[in-house]
Structure 1
Amino acid sequence: AALPPPPPTGRALLPHPERRARPAEPCGASDASPDEGVEADLPMIDERAVEQLTEGLISHYLPDLQRSKSALQELTQQKTELACLKWEGLCISSKSHCKTLFFFSVQKRALKLQQKRQKEELEREQQREKELEREKQLTAKPARRT
């Protein structure tokens, strides 16, 4: 796209001389509306020139804006993918922790069951020893001759 022609120069684009360096009036000092006479002060604007300037600005900045938009879309997509990967990692980690906790709880129950069986076996063995001792004491002993 060709660059638009430079805007016309001259007095038409300069602000009205009275509006350039007028000191501010205190509030209520003037009875006239602040917008009074503004339209008369505006320069004549060429619509074609405005259109060409607008097209020139758009053609200058549009490629950069489009590149920025695509880069932003790519970053957004990557951020979404990264969040998904983090979530999957958390899920895998949670499953791993659950399996580990389950394994430890099974081991703990097995250990308790083993300890209970050993205790019962020890109690049975002690009971047998007591019974044997009692039978020994009940067995008739030959009397000693004195």
Structure 2
Amino acid sequence: MEGIEDDGPLSQGELPHIEDVQLSAEERVYVERSGPVENVYANKEAVYKLTEGLLSHYLPGLQNSKRTLQELTQNQLILLDALDQEVTKFRECNTLLDLNSLFTEAKIYHNKLVNIRKEMILLHERTTKLKKRALKLQQHKQKEALEREHQRDKELERERQLIAKPAKRT
């Protein structure tokens, strides 16, 4: 038989173009079936055509599958970005809720401060009034003490005048 003995797989560089190969009736693939495959005779052109046929049959589907997988991967990335944005929005909403509670708390504390300030102003007014009253009472007591002192001085003077004085001899 006229065939080409093939020792291993053919690389694409070894495959001839279809136009360059001419088929003869004797060039066929023979496989000894009684035991393990020992000698395989293959026509390179037949192997090439079978490979081309196999590739032409499955390659478009595989390429479509590859494009579909790429589109799915791209869509998945888009969905992941959208999901990340939604998560960010939820975090911002939680932050806004936290801010709202902080503003509410700040308002409560502001009201407490305003009330404390009013109480401090009221206490300041009361202490000022008490200080004025205490000053008036002190002045009044000093005045009474001074009047008593004058009264006593007058009484002492009167008693001195009432005391008999020896007459002067002339």
- The two structures share one fold, judged by TM-score above 0.5: yes
Gaps of 5+ in 2: 1-67
3-state DSSP of counterpart to 1:7: helix
Relative to the length of structure 1, the TM-score reads 0.56
Equivalent-residue separation in structure 1 for 2:94 and 2:69 (angstroms): 34
Q: Give the TM-score of the pair, scaled to structure 2.
A: 0.49
Residue of 153, 157, 167 corresponding to 1:134:
157
- Alpha-carbon RMSD across the aligned residues, in angstroms, is 2.9
SS at match of 2:107: helix
Name the structure where strand makes up a greater proportion of residues. Answer: 2
Matched, 1:7 2:70: yes
Q: Quote the residue 1:120 is aligned against.
A: 143
Q: How does 1:46-125 map to 2 (within 5 A)?
A: 50=74, 52-53=75-76, 55-58=78-81, 60-125=83-148
Matched residue SS, 1:76? helix
Q: What CA distance in whole angstroms lies between the structure 1 residues aligned with 2:121 and 2:165?
A: 70
Deviation for aligned residue 1:122: 0.5
Greater than 4 Å deviation, 4+ residue runs: none
* Distance in 2 of aligned mates of 1:103 and 1:6: 84
Question: With CA pairs under 8 Å and 6+ residues apart, which has the higher RCO, 1 or 2?
Answer: 1
Give SS of 1:6's match: helix
